[in-house]
Homo-oligomer: A and B are copies of this chain.
Amino acid sequence: MAEVRTGAAIVAQSGGPTPVINASLLGVIEEASKHSQISALYGARFGINGIIHEDFVDLLAQSKSTLDGLNYTPSSALGTSRHEVQRADLQRVLDVFRAHDVRYFFYNGGNGSMGTADEIARMAADSSYELNVIGIPKTIDNDLMLTDHTPGYPSTAHFFACAVRDIGADNLALPGQVEIIEVLGRNAGWIVGATALAREQENDAPHLIYFPEEPLPLDRLLADVDRVFRKLNRCVVAVCEGQLDEHGEPYGADVRRGSRGSLAMNLGHRLAILVSERLNIRARSEKPGLLGRSSAAFILKHDWHEAQECGRAAVRAAVAGNGGNMISLLREKTSEYRVQTGEVPLRDVALLEKVVPAALRSDHDVTPEFLAYAGPLIGSVRHYPQFEPVSVPKRISPKLESHQ
């Protein structure tokens, strides 16, 4: 183990909040207090901005009741940021680190943040400033390379699998219409694919699942919906907010782009209108949206614990002198689901995006390989019973067809 310098540590959360991002923070706090090399632990408020403006909260001075209260609290307790980091920002970050004698930096984010973390590590090395930068993986999108999965994905996928089950039960009880469920995810279909776990029996929702990895021609969507609806008199479609048609366009949906990706959009609604107009079938859409990444009720315990373990592992890696790495999750090849943490170089995950491979998806569904991957991560979704069809013999002539 390399000798590391004693100094302060900073932890920051970056990008969109997740249901378990605070678990990683709690893991960092818990582990940091065990290591004498870490003389202080500051939390940056609102991501990189907190470092730039020296806006810190002293995390080792928090009361036990505050820390206990953060257990199973979703969203980012420190605040986060989507600020696009510039070169001048990074120089300022290093100046602030020097001023506070910061020797450990834990950056909890996705692939963009891992790129920033890698740049900070390189700039520190170039100026011979001893700094251990460790990335902690976080993204509901599950699109980080070199890790079995990313903390936050299982809970968010669980939310959407349950949402599809519940809206599917509503659609079964009050049939005669099509339900479009807009699922979080721009480029990677890990979450939308996981809605397949809502099924128990044939004909259970979701009836159609589309992956944003492939363009979906409107005519194909309409043909699929029409086929399902004619058979079942109902249809639940799971589609990503980022799904594009064969022209690379969102079907004419009303999308306003912010500085990073789209903000307001109504893709599900647009598809419901198209189904209604072109197929003359009643259709509506639901868009749980950000509720899917912020709902406390759907946090999975193992996701929370894995996120917490990533925070602990990050501190251990830092005091071992392994700066420049990101913590990863490795799934053991056992029949029972088990994971361990590992480490991968930041530069190998920075800015790369892991989409769903072709072998895990079909035209309008997942493949068994997808279920083998996602099933153990998300676990079983409780299913609802149906009445046993003990029917009662009819006693009078059938009602006229007009009432069928």
Contact = CB atoms under 8 A, between A and B. Distances in A.
Contacts of A16: 174
Contact of A99 (B74, B295, B396): B396
Contacts of A40: 392
A387 B263 contact: no
Given A75-B172, A169-B74, A395 B288 contact: no
Contacts of A58: 390-392
Nearest to A59: B387
Nearest to A177: B263
Contact of A66 (B59, B284, B296, B387): B387
A399 B91 CA distance: 11
Interface of A: 13, 16-17, 40, 42-43, 46, 49, 52-59, 61-63, 65-66, 69-70, 73-82, 89, 92, 95-96, 99-100, 162-163, 166-167, 169-170, 172-175, 177, 179, 254, 256, 258, 263-266, 269, 272-273, 276, 282-291, 293-298, 382, 384-392, 394-396, 398-399, 403-404
A40 B390 CA distance: 13
A260 to B, nearest CB: 11
15 contacts: A13-B173, A40-B392, A58-B392, A62-B388, A70-B385, A77-B384, A80-B173, A92-B403, A100-B392, A167-B289, A170-B293, A266-B269, A286-B287, A287-B289, A288-B288
A174 B81 CA distance: 6
A290 B403 contact: no
Contacts of A175: 46, 79
Nearest to A159: B297
